[in-house]
């Protein structure tokens, strides 16, 4: 007997054959998908025997989306850093704010990011870098675990204070030494890694300029020993190339490869300023790339060569990046921007297909996180991470091509139901695991207390006059 029976419209399975089932249905028992097929057939078995029947015949059913680049600590900073390029964005705005966080504010920011992700259909995410001052244990216990979603959480590891060619630019509130940051990552790993098959601890080395080569090698070795992942920003701006070339005579991907950081358990983020040879290294080593088009466009960082990477066999996934670089955590909106950016970059409308974009937000991302055996598609035997998207709305009609509509026309607001690990996390747009109203009431207070402490973002940045 199924716990949840979804009587759907279009099921986009992302299974090995990439089946699309019109008038389909899915049955879930004990957190596992036990049946996928035509509604007519499955109705006979499950319609009147299941505990919960979700009648969503006017919905598109999709595997839960997977966001491969999230800064939970930037949710409170939304709107705080416009019109600046990356290095100023970091050193003058973001780091002074992040370097002033208290653990209480960190929990609020984490919850805000997670609620937004749930409401826009994300069921798994990769956090790029927690540090000691945020209180990672409290974030895990009070925000991540109760939310019901899956998460791979990288903790930052560092022993220098620069960014690319700029030395001593990291905010004092964020500085940690190599020993502390490495040991604390290992501590978190032993405490949480693998919890309920929903939580994993990764290594999050800071960007070149903030980590010595010795420490990078230690991180690579330790991650391999513990069989966990590594995620790092790489080749995001031209200064990143300048730094590795000038100091090591290597381009960014060559540099990372030389240090042992490449491989199937690594997710490099942005990867914009790379050559064909570097793309070949990524393909050969099965290193994953997280593409974050909105952030790249907003900060004027550049347009990543995603269509070239896909052609050369690199596993590319999608990410939203953080509150003040996007400024949202809505992966459906990110899909549209990813689909638009490649034709603009190449002046070729055929450069990327919607199927590739949907793969980047689901199965490719599951592969990047090393969890494609449990999630990323709607298949019998996988854990049930499923979202339903209401297409009975003006902007999604006529429904001649659900794949095209998902990428070009839908947004996170269209997601109605979210199931993670066989449990309803959002039903009819009501989040069931976090008190959204209570959280929204806490957000402004936490944010403005933080802004005041950091002396940033207190007044809106506008050339207009506020009365
Ligand atoms: Zn980032």
pLDDT tens-digit map of 199-220: 999 999 999 999 999 999 999 9
Unique residue bearing structure tokens 């502390």: 180
How far does the centroid of ligand 1 lie from the alpha carbon of residue 405, in Å?
28
Query: How far apart are alpha carbons 52 and 42 in whole angstroms?
Result: 15
How far does the centroid of ligand 1 lie from the alpha carbon of residue 327, in Å?
12
Q: Is the dihedral of CA 319, 217, 152, 210 positive or negative?
A: negative
What stretch of H or E contains 454?
Answer: helix 436-454
Residue 261: both structure tokens together: 């950081």
How far does the centroid of ligand 1 lie from the alpha carbon of residue 326, in Å?
10
Query: How far apart are alpha carbons 269 and 207 in whole angstroms?
Result: 10
Q: Are 31 and 384 in contact (CB under 8 A)?
A: yes
Task: Work out the percent of the chain whose per-residue pLDDT is above 90.
Answer: 97
Q: Is the pLDDT of residue 193 over 90?
A: yes
Q: Under 8 Å CB-to-CB from 382, ≥6 apart: which residues?
A: 32, 33, 373, 374, 375, 376
How far does the centroid of ligand 1 lie from the alpha carbon of residue 372, in Å?
23
Q: For 45-100, list the strands marked E by DSSP.
A: 52-63, 65-70
Rg of the chain taking only CA atoms, in angstroms: 21
User: Torsions phi, psi of 10, nearest 5?
Assistant: -90, 125
How far does the centroid of ligand 1 lie from the alpha carbon of residue 109, in Å?
16
Q: What pLDDT does 358 receive? A: 98
How far does the centroid of ligand 1 lie from the alpha carbon of residue 69, in Å?
6
How far does the centroid of ligand 1 lie from the alpha carbon of residue 296, in Å?
10
Unique residue bearing structure tokens 């070239």: 308
The structural domains of the chain, with segments of one domain joined by +, span 4-63+376-431, 65-368
157 bridge partner residues = 205
How far does the centroid of ligand 1 lie from the alpha carbon of residue 15, in Å?
30
DSSP 8-state code for residue 429: T
Unique residue bearing structure tokens 């002396």: 455
User: Torsions phi, psi of 70, nearest 5?
Assistant: -130, 135
How far does the centroid of ligand 1 lie from the alpha carbon of residue 90, in Å?
10
How far does the centroid of ligand 1 lie from the alpha carbon of residue 328, in Å?
13
Query: How far apart are alpha carbons 41 and 24 in whole angstroms?
Result: 9
Indicate if 65-368 has the same CATH topology as 4-63+376-431.
Answer: no
Superfamily of domain 65-368 in CATH is Metal-dependent hydrolases (3.20.20.140)
How far does the centroid of ligand 1 lie from the alpha carbon of residue 20, in Å?
33
Query: How far apart are alpha carbons 286 and 290 in whole angstroms?
Result: 13
21 bridge partner residues = 11
How far does the centroid of ligand 1 lie from the alpha carbon of residue 236, in Å?
9
pLDDT tens-digit map of 9-63: 999 999 999 999 999 999 999 999 999 999 999 999 999 999 999 999 999 999 9
Query: How far apart are alpha carbons 174 and 108 in whole angstroms?
Result: 19
Query: How far apart are alpha carbons 383 and 403 in whole angstroms?
Result: 23
Q: What pLDDT does 351 receive? A: 98
How far does the centroid of ligand 1 lie from the alpha carbon of residue 129, in Å?
9
Q: Are 297 and 341 in contact (CB under 8 A)?
A: yes
Alpha helices in 227-322 (DSSP H): 238-248, 252-258, 276-284, 293-298, 306-311
How far does the centroid of ligand 1 lie from the alpha carbon of residue 366, in Å?
19
Mean pLDDT throughout 107-118?
Answer: 98
Q: What pLDDT does 353 receive? A: 98
How far does the centroid of ligand 1 lie from the alpha carbon of residue 102, in Å?
21
How far does the centroid of ligand 1 lie from the alpha carbon of residue 393, in Å?
33
pLDDT tens-digit map of 381-396: 999 999 999 999 999 9
How far does the centroid of ligand 1 lie from the alpha carbon of residue 27, in Å?
37
Q: Are 450 and 119 in contact (CB under 8 A)?
A: no
Q: Under 8 Å CB-to-CB from 267, ≥6 apart: which residues?
A: 68, 69, 126, 229, 230, 231, 288, 289, 290, 317, 368, 369
How far does the centroid of ligand 1 lie from the alpha carbon of residue 43, in Å?
45
What stretch of H or E contains 28?
Answer: strand 24-29
Residue 163: burial class (beta carbons within 10 Å; 0-12, 13-18, 19+): buried
Verify cis geometry, omega within 30 degrees of 0, for the bond prior to 398: yes
Domain 4-63+376-431 has CATH 2.30.40.10: yes
How far does the centroid of ligand 1 lie from the alpha carbon of residue 70, in Å?
7
pLDDT tens-digit map of 402-454: 999 999 999 999 999 999 999 999 999 999 999 999 999 999 999 999 999 99
Query: How far apart are alpha carbons 416 and 410 in whole angstroms?
Result: 12
Residue 282: both structure tokens together: 């990524």
Q: Is the pLDDT of residue 1 over 90?
A: no
pLDDT tens-digit map of 238-285: 999 999 999 999 999 999 999 999 999 999 999 999 999 999 999 999
Predicted TM-score (pTM) of this structure: 0.98
How far does the centroid of ligand 1 lie from the alpha carbon of residue 233, in Å?
6
CA atoms lying within 13 Å on the CB side of residue 73: 30
Mean pLDDT throughout 170-193?
Answer: 97
How far does the centroid of ligand 1 lie from the alpha carbon of residue 323, in Å?
10
How far does the centroid of ligand 1 lie from the alpha carbon of residue 128, in Å?
7
How far does the centroid of ligand 1 lie from the alpha carbon of residue 300, in Å?
14
Residue 50: both structure tokens together: 């299941």
**By three-state DSSP, how is residue 447 classified?**
helix
pLDDT band at 338 (very low <50, low <70, confident <90, very high): very high
How far does the centroid of ligand 1 lie from the alpha carbon of residue 367, in Å?
20
Residue of 332, 333, 274 whose CA lies nearest to 302: 274
């Amino acid at each position: 007997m199924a716990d949840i029976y979804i009587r759907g419209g279009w099921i986009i399975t992302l299974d090995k054959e990439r089946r699309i089932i019109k008038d389909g249905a899915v049955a879930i028992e004990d957190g596992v998908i036990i049946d996928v097929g035509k509604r007519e057939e499955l109705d006979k078995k499950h319609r009147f025997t299941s505990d919960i029947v979700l009648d969503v015949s006017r919905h598109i059913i999709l595997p839960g989306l997977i966001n491969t680049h999230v800064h939970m600590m930037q949710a409170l900073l939304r709107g705080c850093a416009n019109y600046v390029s990356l290095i100023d964005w970091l050193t003058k705005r973001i780091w002074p704010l992040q370097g002033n966080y208290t653990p209480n504010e960190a929990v609020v920011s984490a919850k805000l990011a997670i609620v937004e992700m749930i409401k826009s259909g994300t069921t798994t995410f990769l956090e790029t870098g927690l540090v000691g001052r945020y209180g990672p244990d409290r974030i895990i216990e009070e925000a991540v675990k109760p939310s019901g979603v899956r998460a791979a959480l990288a903790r930052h590891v560092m022993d220098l204070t620069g960014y690319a060619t700029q030395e001593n630019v990291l905010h004092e509130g964020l500085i940690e030494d190599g020993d502390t940051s490495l040991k604390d990552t290992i501590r978190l790993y032993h405490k949480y890694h693998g919890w309920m098959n929903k939580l994993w601890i990764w290594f999050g080395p800071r960007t070149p300029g903030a980590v010595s080569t010795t420490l990078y090698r230690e991180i690579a070795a330790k991650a391999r020993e513990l069989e966990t992942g590594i995620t790092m920003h790489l080749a995001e701006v031209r200064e990143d190339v300048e730094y590795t070339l000038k100091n090591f005579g290597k381009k960014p991907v060559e540099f990372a490869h030389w240090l042992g950081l490449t491989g199937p358990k690594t997710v490099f983020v942005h990867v914009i300023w790379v050559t064909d040879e570097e793309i070949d290294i990524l393909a050969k080593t099965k290193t994953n790339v997280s593409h974050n088009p909105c952030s790249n466009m907003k900060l004027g960082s550049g347009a990543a060569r995603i269509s070239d990477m896909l052609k050369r066999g690199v596993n590319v996934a999608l990410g939203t990046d953080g509150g003040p670089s996007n400024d949202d955590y809505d992966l459906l909106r990110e899909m549209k921007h990813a689909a638009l950016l490649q034709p603009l970059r190449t002046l070729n409308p055929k450069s990327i297909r919607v199927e590739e974009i949907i793969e980047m937000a689901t199965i490719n991302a599951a592969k990047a996180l090393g969890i494609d055996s449990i999630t990323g598609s709607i298949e019998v035997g996988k854990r049930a991470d499923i979202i339903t998207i209401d297409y009975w709305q003006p902007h999604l009609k006529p429904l001649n091509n659900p794949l095209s509509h998902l990428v070009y026309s839908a947004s996170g607001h269209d997601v109605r139901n979210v199931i993670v690990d066989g449990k309803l996390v959002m039903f009819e747009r009501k989040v069931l695991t976090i008190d959204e109203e209570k959280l929204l009431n806490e957000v402004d207070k936490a944010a403005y207390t933080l802004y005041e402490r950091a002396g940033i973002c207190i007044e809106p940045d506008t050339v207009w006059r506020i009365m």
